[in-house]
Amino acid sequence: MFGWLYGTITEVRNSLFKKGIFKSFSLGVPTFSIGNITIGGTGKTPLVAFVAEVLAEKGEKVGILSRGYGRENPKQRVVVSDGERILTNARQAGDEPFELADKLLGKAIVIADANRAAAGNWAREKFGITAFVLDDAFQHRKVKRDLDIVTIDASNPFGNKKQLPSGILRESLKNLKRADAIVITRANLTKEISNVKAQISKYNPNCPIFVSENKIAKLTKLDKFSATAQTPQRANDEEQRTKDKSLAFCALGNPNNFFEQLRREHFDLVSAETFPDHHFYTQSDISKIEKKAKENGAEILLTTVKDAVKLKDLKLSLPCFVVESKMIFDDESGFRDLLIAVLENENKI
């Protein structure tokens, strides 16, 4: 019943946008959207960073617009980074915008605002933005986009194919036809890529599909990672930690993917602890984590970048390392060419 009602509402809304009754507004510069059709983590944030880096390499002044889910004062506009400095903290920005701001210092301006149309127009005037990247915006149709990219998690692409609350779909799979490109993420965690591609092609047969996987790039000691705003270059000086017994913890939409990645890359994972997506840690959470670690003989703690930005003011007695990953594409040059072609085409208009 509730799934039917939710689906009906989303379809009516989509129909109103298609008919022009609900309006979409241009931000006046090339705009790229990264989103998904399911709830939970699908690897959007690393892809937002990748796209922003490609645009910055082409000389664009890049602005990232994010809702900043889970932040304090969600209706307030927050400039997370002006491109050179981080101007706030993770609680005010939201963990994902803060993570992006930290990663993209010198490459992108990051703004958290639920009204991305208003924020984009304001940012273009204030900062001279020449290209925007919209974070988690497949369903945010108020802003026109020149390239609509959808991420699909290979390990759990569509769940039971039912819409919320009965399943994980935000809208019907037939709406994949709106996508201009699809990136299948975490391909290394499954052998079903051909099946996922076939399912996508049912709904959007002409859409280019790219396949990517996450690989661990380096580990960074938490105290070094926390100082990244002052010292952007992180040294990977902890390469032998795979031999240490470890407890991994995270607050992600799909935590098991993080744990499985560690196991596949031969970390000695003796225990794991999960928290709700976007959770902000307390000192009592740390006590719980460390108690479990000691009970299981763990010598070190492992966590993600998204979690690390929320640990700065907390005290840990066990060594904690931040696992930094990178996206690897099956056809990176093809994906870059697609972004650049859209950019150059829009700049000619």
Q: What local confidence, expressed as pLDDT, does residue 236 receive?
A: 57
Q: What local confidence, expressed as pLDDT, does residue 224 receive?
A: 85
CATH 3.30.300.30 fits 2-213+328-348, yes or no: no
Confidence of residue 22 (pLDDT cuts 50, 70, 90): confident
42 contacts: CB under 8 Å, gap ≥ 6: 36, 151, 152, 153, 185, 253, 254
User: Over the stretch 178-215, which tens digit does the pLDDT of each residue have?
Assistant: 999 999 999 998 888 999 999 999 999 999 999 999 89
Contact in structure between 182 and 47 (CB atoms under 8 Å): no
192 or 153, greater pLDDT = 153
Q: Crossing angle for the helix pair 95-103 and 44-57, nearest 10 degrees?
A: 30
Q: Which of 7-16, 217-226, 235-244, 290-299 has the highest mean pLDDT?
A: 290-299
* Residue among 274, 348, 287 nearest 315 (CA): 287
Q: What local confidence, expressed as pLDDT, does residue 230 receive?
A: 43
CA dihedral 309, 310, 315, 321 (to 10 degrees): -40
User: Over the stretch 23-32, which tens digit does the pLDDT of each residue have?
Assistant: 889 999 999 9
Sequence spans of domains, the chain = 2-213+328-348, 216-326
Q: What local confidence, expressed as pLDDT, does residue 231 receive?
A: 44
Q: Considering only the top CATH level, what class is 216-326? A: alpha beta
Phi, psi of 171, deg, nearest 5: -155, 170
- According to DSSP, the β-strands at 108-112 and 78-81 are antiparallel
Domain pair 2-213+328-348 / 216-326, same fold: yes
Task: Please work out, in degrees rounded to the nearest 5, the angle formed at the alpha carbon of residue 10 by the alpha carbons of 182 and 136.
Answer: 40
User: Over the stretch 82-136, which tens digit does the pLDDT of each residue have?
Assistant: 999 999 999 999 999 999 999 999 999 999 999 999 999 999 999 999 999 999 9
Report which DSSP code applies to 154. Answer: T
Q: What local confidence, expressed as pLDDT, does residue 16 receive?
A: 85
pTM, 2 dp: 0.92
Mean pLDDT score, 8-20: 85
User: Over the stretch 235-282, which tens digit does the pLDDT of each residue have?
Assistant: 554 556 788 999 999 999 889 999 999 999 999 999 999 999 999 999
Mean pLDDT score, 149-154: 96
